[in-house]
A and B are shown apart, each in its own frame.
Chain A
Amino acid sequence: MARMTLKERYHHMTRLGWQPTYQPMEKVYPQATYEGIKVRNWDDWEDPFRMTMEAYWKYQGEKERKLYAIMDSFAQNNGHLNLSDARYVNALKLFLQGVTPLEYQAHRGFARQARQFPGEGASVACHMQSLDELRHTQTQIHTLSHYNKYFDGFHDFTRWHDRVWYLSVPKSFFDDASTAGPFEFIVSVGFSFEFVLTNLLFVPFMSGAAYNGDMSTVTFGFSAQSDESRHMTLGLQAVKFMLEQHEDNVPIVQQWIDKWLWRGYRVLSLVAAMQDYMLPESPMSWKEAWEIYFEENGGALFQDLERYGIRMPDYAPICAAEKDHLSHQVWGILYNHTAAAAFHTWVPDERKMDWLSAKYPDTFDKYYRPRLEYWRELEQKGERYYSQTLPLICQTCQIPMGFTEVANGDPMQVAYRSTEYNGDRYHFCSDPCQAIFEREPEKFVHAWLPPQQIFQGNCGGASLEDVLKWYNIQPGDNLDYAGSPDEQRWLEWKGLAAAREAAE
């Protein structure tokens, strides 16, 4: 039998398409050209990984077998009792409400790309990613199902993702990608998020899980890692392919990279707050993660892409200036509005404040500790501060406008940006969010902005009570951690555990 290289063999295993002749190309692949990306030859596509379905089934099936065995034993042994503290669980709530539905959207989006890319190599890689993303959706739901049985804030995550104010941040991010053409989608999800930013999501959640005794989530995370490495190589390959196919593609790709790194960065500000404040034991600060994964690794990547004419987005200095403030500002926003959120916030204890002070020596003690101490004072008087009003949110990223002019030397002044379109004003948190709007105003005027929707009467009524009912946020899901049913149960369980240990 003649020898055949793995590469040749994989080529034959996947080059299964044909040039249609009974129907025109543009009807069979209607999404292939409208974004202006020019492809001279799909045969130039280099397969980023070579995995047949047969290998995929075997490999993934084996991983699933192991993962579910650990999930089962975690549940049987009440693994949640080994957590560092019940506050940690709020990170998982944010994950299930905010991230899991995005995995699902990625699944559907990559199915579209598998159908729409005329090149078989690209199609097959997208198809496998679509399967993987479904895996992540479902294994996350299954992993967190145990937590849902013992903690509030998990039970209605799909409805919350569609309705609740802070979840419109991740939802609108992915709606934006999913409603874009196939090439923009792959730059947004495959490259910007999966390749450049993924560690900034992965490290806080998965290392956070390890640091806080959550073996179930750790196992999920490691099990997902080999999928993620495939996704990263696909994202990079897709971008290089576009850049190599035609020089006219370069400015289009640059514009998408500019847009999507900023969109991703803004979504990750929620992760920054989670990482610095929700994790009782933190593997690293947001600032450290940003420096390693974006400034160093991302910097090297952009040097590598220079030969294609791609440059680092020009707003990078804004991110650099914000890194000392981002997590604190967003925690402040979440703290203000926890009455309408399906997770808890709190004023960190002294030990945590000292950690924050060590990690943010230039800003925490000066700008953020006094605020937390004042809130703690109010709390001790029985007057825990909850905002009674609704925030102005950014038309693009949909985060309440709590970001400041830090890049312009004024860290305690809210940054206001606005523009007019068709006779109406639109407000933004930053120059990049404004620029994103101005490139596609037709799209962004249609954004479903929670405060505006409440005022228009589309969310169950005008009072907080009405809106919470429409959200289906139940008592116990919201408000401060102190005094929550989560806290009460935790203390009870741990007390029981201590008593039992003593008896033995």
Chain B
Amino acid sequence: MTVNSIGEYPVLPRDVVDNFHGNIFVVLGWDKHMMISSPMAFPLPPDMPFGALVQEVMPAAFGPHPEWGEIDWATVEWTLDGEPFTPDMEKSLADNGIGHKSVIRLRTPGLDGIAGVGI
């Protein structure tokens, strides 16, 4: 479907990657940990190693959650843009296949959130 308009309607996407000064827009979500009330977004250099994302970026969003320190990273289940995925901690975000507006989600089996109900 397209928009009805008088004259041509210009397509002016505001959030194309070129507008982010070399960064890409990356979304991080921790499933079933609703104390953090929504997924969080970050402008990140695509050559940032995935390990740095985990160690430096994620704590800013998820660190306040009481279970953050208890994560067993060997058992984390990752998805990238809806597909299961195994990140390489040494490789860059780009080399891990992470693009502009990608969504990275982590699931932490055994950690069920505050009160065990996904908070």
Contacts and interface: CB of A to CB of B under 8 A. Distances in A.
Direct contact of A and B (CB under 8 A): yes
Interface of A: 30-31, 34-36, 181, 329, 332-333, 335-337, 366-367, 370-371, 374-375, 378, 385, 387-393, 400-402, 404, 411-414, 416, 418, 422, 424-427, 438-443, 445-449, 451-453, 455-457
3 residue pairs, one from A and one from B, having the closest CB atoms: A412-B118, A370-B115, A445-B13
A402 B37 contact: yes
Interface string B13-55: 1111001110101010101101111111111000000000000
Interface of B: 1-6, 9-16, 19-21, 23, 25, 27, 29, 31-32, 34-43, 60-61, 64, 66, 81-82, 99-103, 105, 113-115, 117-119
A389 B38 CA distance: 11
A404 B37 CA distance: 10
Nearest to B102: A425
B34 A332 contact: yes
Contacts of B35: 371, 374-375, 385
Contacts of B119: 367, 370-371, 374, 412
Given A392-B40, A442-B2, 17 more contacts: A34-B5, A332-B37, A367-B118, A370-B114, A370-B117, A392-B29, A412-B113, A412-B119, A413-B32, A414-B31, A414-B39, A418-B81, A424-B100, A425-B102, A448-B14, A455-B25, A457-B21
A455 B14 contact: no
Contacts of A416: 29, 39, 82, 103, 105
A307 to B, nearest CB: 27
Contacts of A439: 1
Given A390-B41, A452-B14, A371 B3 contact: no
Contacts of A438: 1
8 contacts: A385-B35, A389-B40, A392-B41, A411-B118, A416-B39, A425-B99, A425-B100, A427-B27
Contacts of B40: 387, 389-392
B13 A446 contact: yes
A36 B103 CA distance: 38
Contacts of A453: 14
A387 B40 CA distance: 10
A440 B41 contact: no
A265 to B, nearest CB: 18
Give the secondary structure class of B's interface: loop
Contacts of A400: 37-38
B10 to A, nearest CB: 8
A31 B6 CA distance: 8
Contacts of B6: 30-31, 34
Contacts of B34: 329, 332, 367, 371, 402, 404, 412, 414
Contact of B31 (A388, A401, A413, A447): A413
Given A370-B119, A442-B3, A452-B15, A388 B37 contact: no
Contact of B60 (A335, A367, A389): A389
B11 A424 contact: no
A389 B39 CA distance: 10
A112 to B, nearest CB: 13
A414 B118 CA distance: 10
Contacts of B5: 34
B81 to A, nearest CB: 7
Contacts of A424: 13, 15-16, 100-101
Most chain A CB within 10 A, of B10, B13, B114, is at B13
Nearest to A445: B13
B29 A414 contact: yes
A388 B59 CA distance: 10
Given A385-B64, A424-B13, A424-B100, A336 B36 contact: yes
Nearest to B12: A446
Nearest to A385: B64
A62 B62 CA distance: 57
B11 A445 contact: yes
Contacts of A412: 32, 34, 113, 117-119
A388 B60 contact: yes
Nearest to A425: B101
A346 B102 CA distance: 33
Contacts of B82: 416, 418
Contacts of B3: 440, 442-443
Contact of B103 (A370, A418, A447, A451): A418
A371 B11 contact: no
Nearest to A333: B37
A389 B42 contact: yes
Given A424-B101, A442-B11, A414 B2 contact: no
B18 to A, nearest CB: 10
A153 to B, nearest CB: 21
A401 B113 CA distance: 18
B36 A387 contact: yes
Contacts of A418: 81-82, 103
A421 to B, nearest CB: 8
Contacts of A31: 6
A457 B14 CA distance: 13
A457 B101 CA distance: 17
